[in-house]
Structure 1
């Protein structure tokens, strides 16, 4: 019997394991695609209950063992660094892609993600009374009919993680639920980070240290972010409270100091008015990090044109706020010392009676809900595959030990 070269047997076994995984995942894909409506109706009592994505995958794990990972399997997976996980979230991505593709189940699931969170409903009476909510990642304050959302993770330059997503969705819900709030403003707070001490920073994008440690989940961060608070900013909050519209929506302004990296730039694409300091810059470092920059691939070509979109997303091009190509994203550029006055003027312009109705019609024309659903369904799986790519693991492990 010939002697195997060192490591060859292990490589062969690993290859066989991958082949088996692929076969099982192909079966799961076919099963969900063939029975998505039936599965979803069973989990939601014929679409009479709204389950958010995290609730849906947990319910599916109980009702259909083996179709998605169990809570115990996910708990074990969540305790590991990203490099040591076996990729069970890929199976969640397969399941959610199938559900989101289904003509009846998909829209219903996206509606579930537009409903107010339990946390926001609990905090609402206090916010209406005091006008202030302090959270770990976001400070919310109502002043003169404007909800001021301040990103306040000064330890990490407002890098995004699951806590930030939860706090942002809570703040957006409260903004939209409070009848005395007419519009929302998002701005970065003053930093204590040595590199930006005393300066405001908008957002440093995804927290790569958290991604490396395995603390950036597919469902509770990557998908919740896109289908939760960002869609609520763009589309509105589903309240079923009025005969003329199921959605409660309000105009939104964003103010960018220093930079908007990654998820920070993604956010700007859904705002009604974007201001930036003249020394700020924007970037979507997808090629650098190896992941998909949220829904930017869907929106940026329409907003900035296909060539600029490819340069920014595929080539990692950084846009200065004051250069011509950035003006498709940024409405107004002012010197840093004039930002406060410019914000006040912008908020006043968006305070007209017809603004809400017109932004609603613009958003409907620019991004039909069915087009968004088709994109986010594929994103659910493709992003799951990306966060387990060997190249991504290597890159984020390198980023995690140094500054961005």
Structure 2
């Protein structure tokens, strides 16, 4: 007998009702799934031929938790809620067995905790990851998990949100049996035996939380977690909810958990984390490139250039098991690049992050070469050569001669015109920008630059490749600097103006780092190399002579202070150390420059520093949206969260602007436009319109 209810299948097997969640890809607990479970339980309990019930999941998961497609819709809170479903499971007259495989996370694990018994297959990932969205488990997770596996391990799982393999929890009290054979067959057999047991069915909620010094442990945890998560309220709230259950009992703990959940959902931090969660998924969707677009087969990759970027790009593919042909023009440069890659892998081996065997296997995937002829079979070729259009021209004309038809030709350019690069070939439809961020084997962001002729299947393919090498890919149109570097230029421009007007590098960096940036503009510039920005400004002076810049940074570069690599930049550096030490020489140079420029220096507050830096990003981001360079505001936020160190708990510049209120952002921009150096503040029309109409970017 089989009964289907959209996202749930109901079958009877050997007198046991099997309720199978069937809501791909991870059996999310959406309204139809929740309804189907409740209907299945009622059907089983009213059928005299049924002795027990098994709940399991179809496909690749038991359940991954809430159905994210229903977030922020009425369906998310419509009855039966997950609380109601779990109550129905607990009060079932016939024993309910959760048969767990692959994934049981969030609400999926909470559902299983409501069952009378749990059996699991090895290798299943078990987690309550809600804290990563700035919330806590809202369907009893903070109350049942400590009763199932003990206070300390449960608190660690809930506060970290990290998955734990089922076999590590085999003896924890969470599972009644670990099943090596066919999960469903064994779960049905287990359920039949459970039906023969006398007395009430066991409930996790009735277990006691055993701990020698629960109060002391909870206080210690609160202090430790509070210090580590000062910008995130959810981890400490998780501990508070667990503590309520320990002190007040299950029902009061459950009520307190619910109150905490409702409170946390309203916080800007949770809004930011959920925005990032959905933004990462939305970034992979290109409005005019359907998910059904066929992709090209990428089996072999070639990288041109074995320097810092080329080596890092190569490692991404080696880590994913994809063979790479690495091309250099000179043997010495090739040997140096290979040595650096090996050194990076050896460092991972020493730290225990990689086995020696895996490191050797990855190195074996490299085919080093000095000849373009060895690139003929590559499906994807990525150039990572010097950032100069003439150099790119030589490379792409040569690639056009040797690359096979259908090969994708990609440039790792960070600012240059991809359409001009594509025009160096007779196949512009196959050319795309793949802007990796340094270090390329570490940074998550990949800007995919779409030229005017880039084919849709090329875009679909490189987005799939990005996923394979575990990058967050964001599509950008062609413009100078694309999304990230175009915006950062205005940010740095404001930072330099503030030096001219009265601030010093250490104050600017300290203010924006206190706001939450990983690194301020001057420490960032010293790390990247001040000569890189200098080269860009020199190009700007030729291309856009009307664009005004403070010349302070040029003055610094003229003295050879290029940053950490020269031991001196905006800061001084001791040999072998990276600590940025304020430089009296630089501070004096800045004050002298202001006097020379006829600027009367004034005290600049930290608030002004933060506003001018962040709103410069927002204003340029609005222009990028107006021009269609980015298709949505969340794409801009993903660029800044994954590539530029913008604080995650603030959600990116565009969401932060929404949080502050675009009316307030626009007022500040107009105020700064009336000050000296105000010509840098031409307010984006879309920002002004949204501010006037109460609109938002997201």
Report the TM range for the smaller structure's normalisation.
0.5 to 0.7
CA drift at 1:352: 0.6
Partner Cα distance (1:232, 1:220) in 2: 12
**Where does the alignment leave 5 or more consecutive residues of structure 1 unmatched?**
1-130, 191-199, 237-248
Kindly provide the CA deviation profile for residues 213-266 of structure 1, in whole angstroms up to 9, marking residues without a partner as x. 434544636xx321x221121123xxxxxxxxxxxx111111112110111111
CA contact (8 A) 1:185 1:252 kept: yes
* Alignment deviations for residues 323-353 of structure 1 (CA, whole Å, 9 cap, x no partner): 1466321222233x53244224312321315
2:12 maps to which of 122, 142, 150 = 142
The residue that corresponds to 2:87 in the other structure is 231
Does residue 208 of structure 2 align to residue 208 of structure 1? Answer: no
> Which residue is 2:267 aligned to?
389
Instruction: Tell me what 1:332 maps to.
Output: 177
Aligned residue in 2 for 1:321 = 166
CA contact (8 A) 1:234 1:270 kept: yes
Partner of 1:251: 95
Contact (CA 8 Å) 1:289, 1:392: kept in 2 or not?
Answer: yes
Aligned to 1:187, which of 56, 66, 71? Answer: 56
1:160 aligns with 2:29: yes
3-state SS, counterpart of residue 27 of structure 2: coil
Alignment partners' CA distance in 2, 1:397 and 1:167? 30
Determine the C-alpha separation between the residues in 2 that align with 1:308 and 1:132: 40
> Per the alignment, in what secondary structure is the counterpart of residue 123 of structure 2?
coil
The number of equivalent residue pairs is 244
Q: Is the 8 A contact 1:319 1:326 kept in 2?
A: no
SS in 2 for 1:187: strand
Kept in 2, the 8 Å contact 1:273–1:346? The answer is: no
Partner residue, 2:118 = 274
* Correspondence 1:3-18 to 2 at 5 A: none
Q: Which has the higher contact order (CA 8 A, sep 6+)?
A: 1
State the SS of the aligned residue for 2:200. helix
Deviation per CA, 1:21-67, whole angstroms, max 9, x where unpaired? Answer: xxxxxxxxxxxxxxxxxxxxxxxxxxxxxxxxxxxxxxxxxxxxxxx
Task: Say if 2:2 is the partner of 1:132.
Answer: yes
Q: Which residue of 2 aligns with 1:220?
A: 79
CA displacement at 1:380 relative to structure 2: 3.9
What displacement does 1:303 show? 1.4
- CA distance in 1 between partners of 2:152 and 2:55 (Å): 29
| CA contact 2:144–2:204 (8 Å) conserved in 1 | no
Q: CA deviation at 1:364?
A: 7.9
| Structure 2 Cα separation of the partners of residues 327 and 341 of structure 1 | 24
Cα offsets for 1:281-308 (capped at 9, x unmatched) = 1000021122221201111112111111
Residues 1:396 and 1:214: Cα distance change in structure 2 (over 3 Å): farther
CA distance in 1 between counterparts of 2:68 and 2:204 reads 32
Give the deviation of 1:403 after TM superposition: 5.3
Structure 1 168/402 Cα, relative in aligned 2: closer, same or farther at 3 Å? farther
Tell me what 1:196 maps to.
none
What is the DSSP-based 3-state SS (H/G/I as helix, E as strand, rest coil) of the residue aligned with 1:291? Answer: coil
1:296 maps to which of 111, 136, 141: 141
Q: Which runs of 5+ in 2 are unaligned?
A: 209-247, 283-698
> What are the within-5 Å matches in structure 2 for residues 64-75 of structure 1?
none
* Equivalent position SS for 1:269: helix
Compared with structure 1, are the counterparts of its residues 299 and 396 closer, same or farther at alpha carbon in structure 2 (3 Å cutoff)? same
Aligned to 1:103: none
Q: Kindly report structure 1 stretches of 4+ aligned residues shifted beyond 6 Å.
A: none
Cα RMSD between the aligned structures?
2.9
TM-score of the two chains, using structure 2 as the length reference: 0.32
Matched, 1:366 2:207: yes
* Cα separation, 1, equivalents of 2:184 and 2:170: 24
Q: Distance in 1 between matches of 2:197 and 2:131?
A: 42
- Corresponding position: 1:178 with 2:47: yes
User: C-alpha deviations, 1:68-127, integer Å up to 9, x for none?
Assistant: xxxxxxxxxxxxxxxxxxxxxxxxxxxxxxxxxxxxxxxxxxxxxxxxxxxxxxxxxxxx
How many angstroms does 1:182 deviate by?
A: 1.2
CA distance in 2, matches of 1:182, 1:395: 44
Summarize the Cα distance change of 1:348–1:177 in structure 2 as closer, same or farther, 3 Å threshold.
Answer: closer
Give 1:350's match in structure 2, choosing from 191, 194, 202.
194
* 346 and 179 in structure 1: CA distance in 2 versus 1, 3 angstrom threshold: same
Match of 1:329, SS? coil
User: Of 277, 282, 287, which aligns to 2:131?
Assistant: 287
Distance 1:267 1:219 in 2: 17
SS of aligned partner of 1:322:
helix
